[in-house]
Chain A
Amino acid sequence: MINTTQALEEYIKNLQFSCVYAEKSFPIKVESNILSSSREAVEYLISSAVVGNKAAGFFRSLPPISNLRDTRGICVFVSLELPLNFSIPIFFCRDAATLLELFPRALKTSQDANTPVQIVLGANALHNYADTNFRIPDLDRLTPYIQSDTFTNEVDRELKNKKLSADYKDLSALLPMEPFGETLVFEDPLLSFPLYLFPLNIKEQRDLFKGLRLINTTNSNKELFHYFLNDLLNMNIRIETEIQARQTETETLLCPGCPFMLFSSYLSFTDYLVFTSIPCAAVEKKLGFSLITLHEYLGINFKRLNRQTVYIGNLSELPAAPIPSGGDYHFIFLKDTDIETTFPIPRLPYKLKQKVDFIFPYTCNNVKRYSRLKVNKKKCRCKDDPTCALKTACPAFAPGEEYVFINEELCTGCRACVPACQYKALS
């Protein structure tokens, strides 16, 4: 019995990927050796694979690929969401067993067809268990090299996709070969969802779905099917649901020391609309800030608006976009690099003096540690449901028998929780 999250970690470690990027909020811990935004990381990974490195990227949602090239080394993008456009082969892992089957296959495809591939992990694939023999695939070892035409060679995508479809006929067999009837009833729609999606066969088989009315009796993957049939194939198919959605859920927790946890504790943003470029699903779910890029933010504020806005992003985004004067912009930049700016930097994260226009001393990837927090056992009165834990969503807290308990290994000493305690028990 193997935990799929651990299996993914093993693949990355044992296959010696030399170029690895992981968004910090990706739900498994992967050591990243590239410090850049998600968009830039895609280009970084592809070009490193072009010369023969093994490259892997972990994204919640894979940014669009603008420069698709032939890769000599393996290039694999792992994401949690299906993309809106198909430009590279997709391997969809609907559960734990398919993850272990498809991950090695996807790597082989990338190696043999010299193309980046995308592995999409369905919600049921991560943090799950599979009862199969886990094996690390045998892949080529390459020494990176470059020559004068390495980056000038044009690739005929159409031709390449045709070849892929022909080479991987068995993989596309799961897509329908004959038109569906009028109504399809799926007991578990996931079982019928195609595992392998190649750019070409999607187009070719689009017509087979025409006129379909889908009845989904479990509702478990309504969104997925809706996405596949309607968004992707643009088919406007009716999906009916017969069973109530699941109502069981657990708390969303942030990382210990998360900058956003400090902002919501120390800065009241009620008079600002907050935008961020940090693609963190936990923050999005907890705090509901809109995800945009710096350029989009500059566009919004080109002329004075009816509401004040603030943009939270990484400091490394700054030089890419000289900020035009005259707009009503406000920024909080998270210090991921050492660029000089005129914005003040508080020495300690909990000594924030101003609400906006400052540099926060760290970002998600380099969370700093400060002297650990202590609970005053006499003052603490929250045995159950401690307010410090509820308000901050910090995973370091656990309710104790008489007072709250802080997991010392997790606590970074960020002090986001201090203002949350009405009894002043944390210091």
Chain B
Amino acid sequence: MNYTIHFCSKLSSAFDTVMKLAVETASEADYATKIYTSQSYSPFSSIMLDIHFIGSAKKKAIEAVLDFDGVYIGKSVSLYISPKIIDIAYDGLHYWGIAGTLFKIIGDLSPALITSYLLKTNRERELSVFKQFSLKSLPLSIQETLALMQKEAELKS
């Protein structure tokens, strides 16, 4: 399966770390990745990274927005995840909560790399938030949308 995920965030070191780990995780699972960035207008502006996780030669991809800081203002998309949607406060730890949901969308990725990174760097609070969200189910409506998209993608290919 292929995925196109738009990662939106304010610039922060936690977001940067999450992105690096996500790309490494994907390549461990044999996904090819292509990363595109959007223009940013000031040193404080928010950014968007479009990452294509290419797992098959099929043309169809599941598209989702992972909005770490509630900064997405583009066209509405069916699969949209933000701290508000998964019910987590914007307290800095939320980057790891949203990171956890990536593993719910791309089911065949393993959270082991992130878990071991957080363990190694003694980030217990981050680890517990990450575990919570990578294990917990997504909100029901999102689960349904995702299932529908997966079905469609399989049919079309």
Contact = CB atoms under 8 A, between A and B. Distances in A.
Contact of A280 (B11, B42, B50): B42
Contacts of B14: none
Which residue of B38, B39, B50, B72 has the most chain A CB atoms within 10 A of its CB atom?
B39
A30 to B, nearest CB: 9
Interface stretch (A41-49, A85-93, A251-259, A321-329): A251-259
A73 B48 CA distance: 37
A252 B10 CA distance: 10
B35 A248 contact: no
A125 to B, nearest CB: 8
Given A3-B20, A250-B46, A127 B40 contact: yes
A400 B92 CA distance: 12
Interface in A322-379: none
Interface stretch (B63-71, B100-108, B114-122, B136-144): B63-71
A250 B8 contact: yes
A250 B42 contact: no
A361 to B, nearest CB: 20
A399 interface: yes
B42 A400 contact: no
Nearest to A60: B41
A134 B70 CA distance: 33
B36 A124 contact: yes
A282 B47 contact: no
Which residue of A3, A6, A27, A28 has the most chain B CB atoms within 10 A of its CB atom?
A27
A384 B84 contact: yes
Which residue of B9, B38, B39, B45 has the most chain A CB atoms within 10 A of its CB atom?
B45
B60 to A, nearest CB: 15
Contact of A247 (B44, B45, B71, B74): B74
Contact of B23 (A129, A251, A410): A129
Interface residues of A, number: 41
B78 interface: no
A81 to B, nearest CB: 11
Contacts of A127: 11, 37, 40, 47, 49
Contacts of A123: 37-39
B78 to A, nearest CB: 13
Contact of A96 (B35, B44, B73, B77): B35
B46 A251 contact: yes
B72 A255 contact: no
B48 A281 contact: no
Nearest to A27: B40
Contacts of A6: 16
A396 B10 CA distance: 10
A395 interface: yes
Interface string A1-34: 1010010000000000000000011111100000
A249 B38 contact: yes
A399 B10 contact: no
A24 B43 CA distance: 8
Contacts of B89: 400-401, 405
Nearest to B75: A247
Contacts of B9: 250
Interface string A222-265: 00000000000000000000000001111111111000000000
Contact of B35 (A80, A129, A384, A395): A129
B73 A249 contact: yes
Given A127-B47, A255-B42, 16 more contacts: A1-B20, A26-B43, A27-B42, A27-B43, A125-B37, A249-B72, A249-B74, A250-B8, A250-B9, A251-B73, A252-B46, A281-B39, A395-B44, A399-B84, A405-B89, A405-B90
26 contacts: A1-B23, A25-B42, A27-B42, A80-B39, A123-B38, A128-B35, A128-B49, A129-B19, A129-B20, A129-B23, A248-B50, A248-B65, A249-B38, A249-B48, A250-B9, A250-B38, A251-B71, A251-B73, A252-B42, A252-B45, A256-B44, A281-B41, A282-B41, A282-B42, A395-B10, A398-B69
Closest 3 interchain pairs by CB? Answer: A398-B90, A248-B74, A282-B42
